[in-house]
Amino acid sequence: MNKILPISILSLSTFFASGVQASDESDNGFYTGAFYNTQSISIFSDDRDFKVAGLVGGYQFNKNFSVESRYGKGISGHDNTTFLENYDYKEDINYQLSLSAKAAYYFTDDFKVYGMLGYTDTELKISTVAGIYIDDVFQGHRAAKIYEDVSGLSYGIGISYAFSEQFAVFLDHQRLPDFDVGRPEDSFRWDSTTLGITYSF
């Protein structure tokens, strides 16, 4: 996967470069916005659901190609109140940062479908319990926080509708890097669906 990502980004960069030369300057420029998304990790028969809100920013090279970054913070996570008596187990997205290349196809002047390919880094905050030992003798449990990082290739597809020259709404679905925290021998599917709005300068 580490080899695939640089090759893919290099190929898309070549498209960007050729597209910039032929583009109308009116199609170029920066944009920003906000988003809300829901995410799900499928672990055997248990789906862990997360909700994230954040900001989006990007640069439109021409009508069809752009590069976009998103930064989000978790606002709702997964919890297990029966993990251990008097202790809760929780997983929250501390932050999520992504950088993606986007290629679009327009069905009308206002409506387009686009594909995304990029890199996503997620830091999970896990609230759990840890055992207390003194001289190898178990003394009990205490609350503990663990921070785990999951990063890698992400990709997806979406649609966007511009309801004015500056504002547009978008909806997309992405496959995020597989979740393998705590189980290096296993990896689990991680999906994300995002709804957002952008403003073009």
Using alpha carbons, select from 37, 39, 60 the residue that is nearest to residue 48.
39
More confident residue, 15 or 132: 132
Instruction: Kindly report the average pLDDT of the chain as a whole number.
Output: 81
Residues 6+ apart with CB under 8 A from 185: none
Tokens of 145: 């926080």
Residue 146's pLDDT is 79
For each of the domains in the chain, give its residue range(s) and CATH number, in order of start.
4-200 (2.40.160.20)
What are the tens digits of pLDDT across the range 160-200?
A: 999 998 999 999 999 998 877 655 566 688 899 999 999 99
What percent of the chain has pLDDT above 90?
Answer: 49
129 pLDDT band (50/70/90 cuts)?
low
What are the tens digits of pLDDT across the range 23-63?
A: 455 578 999 999 999 998 877 666 788 999 999 999 999 99
Res. 117: pLDDT tops 70: yes
* Torsions phi, psi for 183 (to 5 deg): -140, 75
Residue 44's pLDDT is 64
Please state the rounded mean pLDDT for residues 136-150: 74
5 pLDDT band (50/70/90 cuts)?
very low
Please state the rounded mean pLDDT for residues 109-133: 86
Residue 126's pLDDT is 78
Please state the rounded mean pLDDT for residues 83-98: 77
DSSP codes of every residue in the chain: -TTHHHHHHHHHHHHHHHHHHHS-GGG-EEEEEEEEEEEEEEETTEEEEEEEEEEEEEEE-SSSEEEEEEEEEEEE-EEEEEEETTEEEEEEEEEEEEEEEEEEEESSSSEEEEEEEEEEEEEEEEEEEEEEEETTEEEEEEEEEEEEEEEEEEEEEEEEEESSSSEEEEEEEEEEEEE-TT-TT--EEEEEEEEEEEEE-
| 58 in Cβ contact with 47 (< 8 Å) | no
Residue 19's pLDDT is 45
